[in-house]
Amino acid sequence: MARELGVKLEKDCQRYKTVGIGGNETVYLFRKQKVKLGNWEGIIPIGFLDHDIVPPLLGRQNFLEDFKVVFEDHKTIFG
C-alpha cells in the first residue's frame, strides 16, 4: 500500500521493531499522510509493513483518539 501512496519505506519512514503474539515485525512509520474525511482534512501518521500479508488497520494515534468511530455489523460510522 505504501507504493500506491507514493511512500518509499526506507527513505520516507522511521523504522521500529515490534514483538507480539504473531512474532516480530518491522513497522515503517510515515508521519505526514494528508487525509480527508468528509469536511475534515488533516495529517495523520501511517504505519506500513514491508509485505501485504496483514490487511491495513485503522489505528488510534491521531485518528481514533480524535474521532468517534462506531463499528456496527457491516457498517462503519465516523463522527
* pLDDT mean across residues, the chain: 85
Alpha carbons 79 and 69: distance in angstroms, whole number: 6
Q: What is the pLDDT of residues 24-74, one digit of tens each?
A: 999 999 999 898 888 889 888 899 998 888 777 777 777 777 777 777 787
Query: Which residues, 6 or more positions from 66, have their beta carbon under 8 angstroms from its beta carbon?
Result: none
Query: In whole angstroms, what is the distance from residue 31 CA to residue 47 CA?
Result: 8
**Is pTM beyond 0.95 here?**
no
Report the alpha-carbon distance of residue 1 to residue 55 in Å, rounded.
Answer: 10
Instruction: Tell me the average pLDDT across 16-22.
Output: 89
